[in-house]
Chain A
Amino acid sequence: AQSVSQHNHHVILSEAASLELGCNYSYGGTVNLFWYVQYPGQHLQLLLKYFSGDPLVKGIKGFEAEFIKSKFSFNLRKPSVQWSDTAEYFCAVNGGTGRRALTFGSGTRLQVQP
């Protein structure tokens, strides 16, 4: 069965600090990888996705993520966070040609202090 681990449950940063959120998954086959963001009281919005090709993917709002196959990781990064990035971030995976449902990590709550 697929599983996704997000090691940071709650991260507090000051504005302009750099961000890296960890995500590791377990799945033996081809995978699609995603990061979603959930602002307070809102629905999930896609930040970025990886299907194949260049392992460094860029998303919206200056976020990027790197897929490292050997480490089963898909960490999210942003060089300089803003107060408006305060939200919960979810890593998710599904099988590329198999089960379609997303398996989510437990989420990381990011709090950016002005």
Chain B
Amino acid sequence: DAGVIQSPRHEVTEMGQEVTLRCKPISGHDYLFWYRQTMMRGLELLIYFNNNVPIDDSGMPEDRFSAKMPNASFSTLKIQPSEPRDSAVYFCASSLVKYGGQETQYFGPGTRLLVL
């Protein structure tokens, strides 16, 4: 399996522009997560999906952030308009929950976003 695939790997944009991050989870996984990593706040959850349905978006900073999962093999995280404080590494992860709640999340390579 190719693992979790994210694109782009690097994104540099100017404040006010729209940014779209993409993720392809591991085939067969039923959970998809978006995390953000910054120096100040470490690794934190933004949102996660189960069978393409958003379950917990409590980590989404504000209305400028939105995430979708139109099918089991694709998800997007959109920031509109972007701000310099959005600069971070955004990770996508996926997992398959087994009986008893056991699961392992596998992470993609991340998208390093810089908003100027």
A-side residues, CB < 8 A to B, are 30, 32, 34, 36, 42-46, 49, 51-52, 90, 92, 94-107
B100–A101 CB distance below 8 A: no
Interface centre among B50, B55, B95, B103 (most CB of A within 10 A): B103
Kindly state whether residue B74 has any CB partner on chain A within 8 Å: no
Write the chain B residue with the least CB distance to A49: B104
B side interface size, CB within 8 A = 27
Alpha-carbon distance A32/B105, docked complex (angstroms) = 11
B-side residues, CB < 8 A to A, are 31, 33, 35, 42-45, 48, 50, 55-56, 59, 91, 93, 95, 97, 100-110
Name the prevailing secondary structure of the B interface residues: strand
Shortest A7–chain B CB gap in Å is 15
* Set of chain A residues within 8 Å of B97, measured between Cβ atoms: 100
A43–B109 CB distance below 8 A: yes
A102–B105 CB distance below 8 A: yes
Give 12 new A-B contacts, CB below 8 A, not counting A32-B103, A98-B101: A32-B102, A43-B107, A43-B109, A51-B100, A52-B100, A90-B43, A100-B50, A100-B55, A102-B93, A104-B43, A105-B42, A107-B43
Shortest A19–chain B CB gap in Å is 21
Alpha-carbon distance A107/B35, docked complex (angstroms) = 15
Contact of B101 among A45, A92, A96, A103 (CB under 8 A): A96
Alpha-carbon distance A31/B109, docked complex (angstroms) = 26
A99–B102 CB distance below 8 A: no
Shortest B31–chain A CB gap in Å is 6
